[in-house]
Amino acid sequence: MDYQQAIDFIHSLERFGSKPGLERIRALSQRLGNPQDRLKFIHIAGTNGKGSTAAFIASVASAAGFKTGLYTSPFIERFNERIKLNGEDISDEELVKYVARVKWVIDEMIAEGLEHPTEFEVITALAFLYYYEKNCDLLVLEVGMGGRFDATNIISAALVSVITKIEMDHMTILGDTLAKIAYEKAGIIPENGRVVTYPQEQSALETIEAVCNNKKATLYRVDPAELTDVTLEKRKLSFIHPRLGVIETPIVGVHQVYNAAVALKTLEVLVEMGYRIPPEKVRLGFQNASWPGRFELLQTHPDFYIDGGHNPDGIRSFVETFKAIYPGRKATIIFGVMHDKEYETMVAELSAIASRFIAVTPVTPRAFPAEKLAKVMAKYCQFVEISDTIKGAVEKSMQLSSADDIIASLGSLYYIGQVRSLFRTEFCN
């Protein structure tokens, strides 16, 4: 097996879909020796902010000297990004080795008449095995979807369970109210656990509190107001923490102050538990943190941003950040979206900062066609263009912009990953 064959095998598992339940991954992990039972976790669920919160925590833990894993999804440019150790992606050689080992076990399971694990279950089991054999001290583990029946929830107990901002998303699977969605997310809370939560809407918070009471878990509520003197720049976010002083990070966004507050509270809980994380290592970790594709500036003159906002809350966060950095300005907005997302709500939000829209069709079977998206855009903006390809959309935006203009390409992480790759290979100045 070579690298491409390993990737092809993983992606071939899409045919098994996404199925809630823990039976398949338990069967697979058991045959791999249950590596998850010998790891220590920070387990993170939520609708928005999981990835950046995880990136903050993992960067600080690594700076403090812990061998730290970071397991996230999806990837932006290369699959290997999903499985990191001390900030480094799993190597191609290691990925091939672990895919081959896990595939061999799956073949045995199928021969015994057991159900085939899903793509996410296979990747999660593979990651657990990799991190165990790499003697990982802490694994920052991001939930795939929901929490209660997510494949990551086969872990016995996390050191800290973290619940980031809960919003209306994946309603057909997780429920049609915030309370129902919060119940699924709160499924990661273990008996007698420690739980850190973002400042949620009341119905979501009440649900989380009820689960904590039922599980006899200790709940830590985050207060972002304790972070003061917040300053946003194109490539830097800074604020003052009452006990840690000035903290700076290249992960930019008005909403990132809230995610940073969640990460800092989680780190405080770890310190309470006896983990040695000195203040200077917290500051260093935030300074070194990286989470591409979130209000990321790819070039200047014109300023070109990508952002993985793919639901209304994510789009609102982008718009709010844009207004803070570019007060009174507008941008050319390249936008592609999946057909099952709230595309009209997102276009309406983006119209507040759009001088022009360019509609594009992401390269995925779930894509909403650019022609239909353009009709929605025309309700909110006078200037609307259509591009057949992502590369064409980027080229068109450049042709229509001067050096002083601003361009932003938004949509799913897979889609903006393609934009990011284009800049790395063809457009970067």
Please indicate, yes or no, whether residues 77 and 96 belong to a single structural domain of this protein: yes
Predicted confidence at residue 352, as pLDDT, reads 97
Is residue 206 located within the same domain as residue 145? yes
For residue 242, count other CB atoms closer than 10 A to its CB.
8
74 and 118 inside one domain: yes
In the DSSP assignment, the letter for residue 84 is E
Q: Residue 178: give its domain's CATH number.
A: 3.40.1190.10
3-state secondary structure of 145: coil
Spatial strand order of the sheet with 88-89 comes to 88-89, 83-85, 68-71, 138-142, 41-45, 160-163, 194-197, 218-221
Tell me the two tokens of residue 64.
């403090």
Phi first, then psi, for residue 292 (nearest 5°) are: -60, 155
Mean pLDDT, residues 149-167 = 94
Average pLDDT, the chain: 94
pLDDT attached to residue 146: 81
Instruction: Indicate if 276 and 314 belong to the same structural domain.
Output: no
Strand partners, 294: none
Residues 156 and 265 in one domain: yes
Q: Identify the band that residue 276 occupies on the pLDDT scale cut at 50, 70 and 90.
A: very high
pLDDT at residue 429 above 90? no
For the cut 80, the answer to whether the pLDDT of residue 427 exceeds it is no
Supply the pLDDT for residue 197: 97
Domain end position, chosen among 263, 288, 313: 288
Residue 157 confidence (pLDDT): 85
Both 173 and 243 in one domain: the answer is yes
The pLDDT value recorded for residue 147 is 85
Predicted confidence band at 428 (pLDDT cuts at 50, 70, 90)?
A: low
* Bond preceding residue 369 cis, omega within 30 of 0: no
Cβ–Cβ < 8 Å for 138, 40: yes
Using the predicted structure, report yes or no on whether residue 136 has a pLDDT greater than 60.
Answer: yes
Angle, CA 413 vertex, CA 132 and CA 416 arms, to 5°: 135
74 preceded by a cis bond (ω within 30 of 0): yes
Q: Are 190 and 217 in contact (CB under 8 A)?
A: yes
**What's the pLDDT band for 250 if we cut at 50, 70, 90?**
very high
Determine the Cα–Cα distance for residues 4 and 267; give it in Å rounded to an integer: 38
Q: How far apart are CA 117 and CA 99, in angstroms?
A: 13
CB 125: neighbour CB atoms within 10 A?
29
Is the pTM above the cut of 0.75?
A: yes
In total, the chain counts a number of residues equal to: 429
pLDDT in tens, 21-74: 899 999 999 999 999 999 999 999 998 899 999 999 999 999 999 999 999 998
**Residue closest to 236 by CA, chosen among 260, 253, 224:** 253
State how far the alpha carbon of 25 is from the alpha carbons of 84, 120, 131, 136, in Å. Answer: 21, 9, 16, 21
| CA within 13 Å, CB half, 285 | 28
pLDDT in tens, 378-424: 999 999 999 989 999 999 999 999 999 999 999 888 889 999 999 98
Residue 250: name the closest of 228, 233, 225, 264 by CA.
233
Partnered with residue 165 across adjacent β-strands are 48
Structure tokens at 384: 């609307």
Distance separating alpha carbons of residues 298 and 184, to the nearest angstrom? 36
Looking at 250, 265, 288, the residue that finishes a domain is 288
Domain count, the chain: 2
pLDDT at res. 170: 59
Angle separating helix axes 23-31 and 92-111, nearest 10 degrees: 110
Residue 369 lies in domain: 296-427
Answer with the one of 288, 323, 338 that is the final residue of a domain.
288
